[in-house]
Structure formats: C-alpha cells, structure tokens
Chains A and B, each alone.
Chain A
Amino acid sequence: MAAAAAPMEVDTGNGVFQRKQAMYKSLDESFEIQKEMYRGQQYSQIYFARLHLMRTLLYSLLPTWKPHLPICTVLGLEEGKECIIVGTLYKHMKLKPSILDEYSKERSASPLVKPHNFVHSDDYLVLEDESGRVKLRGSLLLPSVYVTGIVVALHGKETGAGDFMVEDILEAGLPHQIELPLNSGEDKYVVFVSGLSVGSSSANPLHFQLFVDHITGHLGDEKEQGIAAHIVQVVIAGNSVEFPRGLLNGQNLGSKDQSRLSEPIKELDILLTQIAAGIPLDIMPGTSDPANFSLPQQPLHKCLFPGSAAYNTFRSCTNPHSFELDNVRFLGTSGQNIEDLARYSDAKSKLEFMERTLRWRHLAPTAPNTLGCYPFTDRDPFFIEKCPHVYFVGNQEKYEASLIKGSDGQVVRLICIPKFAETGTAVVLNLRNLECHALSFGTQFSS
C-alpha cells in the first residue's frame, strides 16, 4: 500500500545524482506504551523500578570505587560510622510551585508571576531509599546542580544532628558504548530541525520552503545538489505545529473555526510530503504537537499526515526517540527533559544539562516529579542502557554542539537543535566523523 520512495534523482547536465542511503534501525520499542495497562498505580512504582535498577548498577561499580567501605541502608546508619549509602535524591525547593499555595489564606512572599527558574540558595538535598530518608550536608553536593529523581551512591557518615555528611559521590556514569570505526567510508549527512511551529505567526513559511528545497536538491548549482544528495536522513525534533490557541477556549467550534484549527497540520503535511518523497524522514512529537502530554510521547497518528504517511520513508516516532543509522546510535528528545532541568537546577549551558543526564545515565530524572510521565510499574524506559554516539535535544534557543568523552573511551556528540521558526537554523551532522554544523536560511535583504 505504501508508495516506495525511489532514490532521489536530480537531472543535471552531467548525469543523475543518486541519493545516498543508510541502514536504519528503530530502537523506540521501550518508549511505546500500547501494551501498558493502567491499573490505578501511582508513581511509587516507577521510583521503585528506577531505584532497584540503578542501585544494582551502582553496587556493581562500588568495588572499583571504594571497596573497603561497608554499604548501609538509610535506616541502618550509625552515627560516626563511615559508610556508603545508595538511594534516590530528593531536592527540597523553597520556590517550587505547590498547588496548595492557591489555597493559602495569606499571600506568601513568592511572587504570583512564576520565575523561570526555581533554584534558591536555601534548597537542600535528601537521600531516600525504601527504609527512610536522610538530609544531606557537606560542601561537595551543590543543590543547584542536582535534581529530584537521580540515583547516586554517597560516601560519608551520619552526624550527631541526624544528617549525613557527604564526603564523596558516585554517579552511574556513561554507559557502555559500542566502538565505531570513525572516519571511514563516505560523507553521509543527517539533518536535524525542530520548532517549525507551522501555523504560528512567528514562523516564516518561506524559510521552511527554502529548507525543503535545499535538502531535496531543488536549490543551488551542481555542487550544492551533490552535497544535498549525501543527506540520508531528516529528523524533526518536535513542535512542528502551533494551533491557534484562541480557538481552544472550551466553546463549541463552528465549521469555519474547525477548518482554521486544522490548517496548520494540513500545511505541515504538504511540506512533509515534499521531503518524504525523496528522503527518509523521522518526525517526533513535542509540547505543542497533537500528541499525549506525558513522556514518553507516543508517535503522531498517521491520519494527521494523509499525504506524507503514504511514503514508506515517513516514520512517526516517539519522544524520546532512539535509532541506529549505519550502526551509529542516536538518542534524542524534543526538549522537555532539558527544559525541566533548566527550571530546577543551574548550569552554564544547555549542553551541560545534556552531559549531566548522560553521566547520571537517565534521560529525564525529574520525571515524574515535575515532568509528566506514564506510571510504569516494572521498568523505567528513561534509563540509558547503551551510550549513544549522538545525543540531540530539540527546541533550544540557539545551536550548540560539543563532544564529550567518557571514562571508558566513549565519545558522544551533543547537539542542541534551535527552534527553526525563530532562528531559521537547522543542524547537519556528518555520520562519517560526527562533525556538525549549522544550516541557516534567511530572507532578509539588506536595503
């Protein structure tokens, strides 16, 4: 039934350009929730699954870290006895919005307008396991760096006041990575774009059309087209549409309003058909897309894309999204996990947040505390099992990229994909050597 896309051919004077192809393998199975059944469970189940999974992992790392120290549970702590405890971090935050504030009789000191970042100098950390919780002290553990939901091992001792004085911390670290033979073979490019926001007033349709024309080889001379023929995959990382919010005020929609509501998605489908006709395309849902709210977001339904879904190059994916292209492992989200970290902790840049999630070995530690999440009972799909080679996050303010190295020789390319509607910038990654650069489109003419 699906129309197969022929290798993209562009007729030129010298001959026809054949588009390169890469072997694709989807790894999204753990993010799908079709088989899950909700039985009224609460979030304690996913926290237990996470704690058990990561505690087992940390126990296996302890012999190489500090083999001579005993391991305790929180209830088993004795005053002055140096030991190691493993548990989930909880950060008590003064400014964290609480639903109960709405019911308080007096207006509290915190302003009604929510600040973007809720970090305060009075925040403190608590370590929790099944037996109990203990407040953490010590200058090593900066509360502004950590968030609720991370599982760590701590070396220290209980103080007279009943707190735990931390002397050292062990995080799970980067997981094992399959080594890649880099710098061999030919150049193959993956194009990342996010925040298209089709239908919003700030999105310039000309920018996106330029983008589509460029990657499908309809722009530029032979040299440009030759480069475009090396693009093997396009990934759209969330927020592809923006619906007119004024219509969604709880009232019944008239027929004219109904067609206005569906215009953005129809426009997007027309543009995506142009891409899918020639290049494999992965589209992920984001915060503003018509998908479920809580992570993992499920793939956008194919009925939204009557034109593009007919092609077998069109793939609707989950958020987070994980796949392999020519054995290069990709992992990425539409930005919700990093945005939430930015609300509840501090860092120099978004790349630093991304690096932290890898070193904590967990994609979204703040889920389900402050980030909506499905109440899994027996697993935690956000646990990162294998180290990706490329880790991308969509809908960021600007393009940023860096390369991080792990203690076992892992190498990860981190990419922040900017919002296309605001910046007109996409990101291009070379599979051969993991180098990446920005691809900007502008329509301003200097007067």
Chain B
Amino acid sequence: MASSDMKGFFRQKKKLGVSKPKSLKKSPKTKHSASCGSDLVQPPALISHGSLDLKDEYDDKEEVLRQFDMNMAYGPCLGMSRMDRWERANALGLHPPKEVENLLRAGKVNSECLWDGRV
C-alpha cells in the first residue's frame, strides 16, 4: 500500500472532522463507500484533480449540525432527534445557536444525530 495514498486518506478525514471510518455507515447513502479505504479502486495515478473523491452528501450545513451534536454543553445527542435536543437546550436556558434551529426547520438536512443507526 502506498503510504502517500494513506496520508491523503487521513488528511481528507481530518478536514471533514469525522473520526469514524465511513465504511461503517449503514444508511442507503453509500454510493461512495466503495471508494473508501481501498486504493485499488482509486489508485493515486488516476487522481487528476488532487483530492480523493470521498465526499458524499456531507456538506457545510451537516458540519454545523455535527458540531452541535458533539457539543457536550447541550447533553448527550444519542437517542434524540436534533430538533428535540435543540428544543431541550432552549428550554433549559442554554442558548443554543439559532443557526442550528434555522437549518433544522428548513429541512433537507438529517434530522437525527450523527451516531443514529451507527451505535
């Protein structure tokens, strides 16, 4: 295994801020999971634009929500929908960020926490 490819793999993961390997995700959105962890599928020679094609539907909005999930000031995130957790934090006077509420109300984002279905 080419070590430079592994470094590239890890670098990509740090940028996204997710520590759990993507291959464990059970949800049907696994279009790109085949490209994870295996440089046979995507050998370095074929990477023309300089970064690995590992990005799935994970975007900036999801990043904000995941940071909200991980913030321990609002309590554990497992077993609650994100909106319920936001409302609980609001009711307890913790002043959760309004941005998270807006994102959740707008829809088109994952309503469950990032560990949902994985643990």
Contacts and interface: CB of A to CB of B under 8 A. Distances in A.
B73 A377 contact: no
Contacts of A131: 72
A40 interface: yes
Q: Which one of A130, A131, A375 has the highest number of Cβ atoms from chain B below 10 Å of its Cβ?
A: A130
B88 A378 contact: yes
Interface majority SS (helix, strand, loop, mixed), chain A: loop
Contact of A130 (B73, B84, B88, B91): B73
| Count class of interface residues, chain B | 10 to 19
B87 to A, nearest CB: 8
A131 B73 CA distance: 9
Nearest to A51: B75
Given A378-B88, A378-B91, A39 B80 contact: yes
A39 B79 CA distance: 6
Contacts of A45: 75-76, 79-80
A158 B77 CA distance: 30
Contacts of A378: 84, 87-88, 91-92
A377 B78 CA distance: 10
B81 interface: yes
A48 B91 contact: no
B80 A377 contact: yes
Contacts of B81: 39
Interface string A262-291: 000000000000000000000000000000
A130 B94 CA distance: 14
A49 B75 contact: yes
Nearest to B72: A130
Interface in B39-91: 72-73, 75-76, 78-81, 84, 87-88, 91
B75 A48 contact: yes
Contacts, number: 44
Given A377-B84, A378-B91, A48 B76 contact: yes
Contact of B76 (A40, A44, A56): A44
Interface residues of A, number: 16
Contact of A52 (B78, B80, B87, B92): B92
Contacts of A40: 79
Contacts of B78: 41-42, 44
Nearest to B84: A377
A185 B91 CA distance: 42
Nearest to A52: B92
Q: Which one of B73, B76, B84, B94 has the highest number of Cβ atoms from chain A below 10 Å of its Cβ?
A: B76
Q: Which one of B72, B79, B93, B94 has the highest number of Cβ atoms from chain A below 10 Å of its Cβ?
A: B79
B92 A41 contact: no
Contact of B79 (A41, A53, A56): A41
Contacts of A39: 79-81, 84
Interface in A14-66: 39-42, 44-45, 48-49, 52-53, 56
B60 to A, nearest CB: 27
Given A44-B76, A49-B92, A130-B72, 10 more contacts: A40-B79, A41-B78, A42-B78, A48-B75, A48-B76, A49-B88, A53-B92, A56-B93, A378-B87, A378-B88
Ranked 3 nearest A-B pairs via Cβ: A41-B79, A48-B75, A44-B76
10 contacts: A39-B84, A40-B79, A41-B78, A41-B79, A42-B76, A45-B79, A45-B80, A377-B88, A378-B84, A378-B91
Interface of A: 39-42, 44-45, 48-49, 52-53, 56, 130-131, 375, 377-378
